[in-house]
Structure 1
Amino acid sequence: MRTIDRTLDLGPATPSLSLTARMMLAFVNVASIWRAIRNRREIHYLNELNDAQLRDIGLTRQDLDAALTTSTFFEDPSSHLTNSARRCTRPSAFSFRG
């Protein structure tokens, strides 16, 4: 008669998050959603500016529309506007006016 030893390898156990860690994670997620909603509302305020005022801050109406349409409701659209403003101002920063 033969006996075969079998072992079950479960690997290292992953510790569960503590209550404090779970609460902090939930707080960070809620704060992120709140920031995205607040920035979305601010973009609507930017839409009230005229074209010359938008140009002064390096944006166009198309940038505002694209920021709102390319991001989902819970994503922060402000990063799109930041990138658009940087692209718009970069060529003028290196041009010589003399």
Structure 2
Amino acid sequence: MRTTDRILELDCNQASMTFAQRLAYAFAPLASVLRVFRNRMEINRLRDLDDNLLKDIGLSRADLTSAFLTSTFFEDPSDHLTRSARNRARNSMFRSHEE
């Protein structure tokens, strides 16, 4: 019987990042801040809608106000609005099943 030793050499060294990867990594925080400001501007545009249109998308004026008040300047208030709309949708579905 013959045994053969096989050795698999793995190159586990960290591959160096390309220029494009380093550039993307450097600008990621700036892109995040710009996204937060863009979302804040869009939420300000939601204030122009009337109450019926806000209700259609699952929000209220109180949700818009609380989203701005609960988030700091560099936090994204759209996360708060998403949670509010989902909770309101769940509650309305739960109420419709009870009836």
Q: Do both proteins adopt the same fold according to a TM-score greater than 0.5, normalized to the shorter chain?
A: yes
Identity %: 51
**Structure 2 runs not aligned, ≥5 long:** 1-15
- Give me the whole-angstrom Cα distance separating, in 1, the residues matched to 2:70 and 2:26: 26
Aligned to 1:75, the other structure's residue is in SS state: coil
- Give me the whole-angstrom Cα distance separating, in 2, the residues matched to 1:73 and 1:27: 20
Q: Structure 1, residues 57-79: CA drift from partner, whole Å, max 9, x if none?
A: 00010100111111111111100
Match of 1:69 in 2: 69
Match of 1:85 in 2: 85
- Give me the whole-angstrom Cα distance separating, in 1, the residues matched to 2:75 and 2:91: 29
Aligned ranges 1:12-91 → 2 under 5 Å: 20=19, 23-91=23-91
- Give me the whole-angstrom Cα distance separating, in 1, the residues matched to 2:47 and 2:53: 10
Q: TM-score, normalised by structure 1?
A: 0.72
Q: CA deviation at 1:51?
A: 0.7
Q: CA deviation at 1:18?
A: 6.5
Q: TM-score, normalised by structure 2?
A: 0.71
What's the Cα RMSD here?
Answer: 2.3
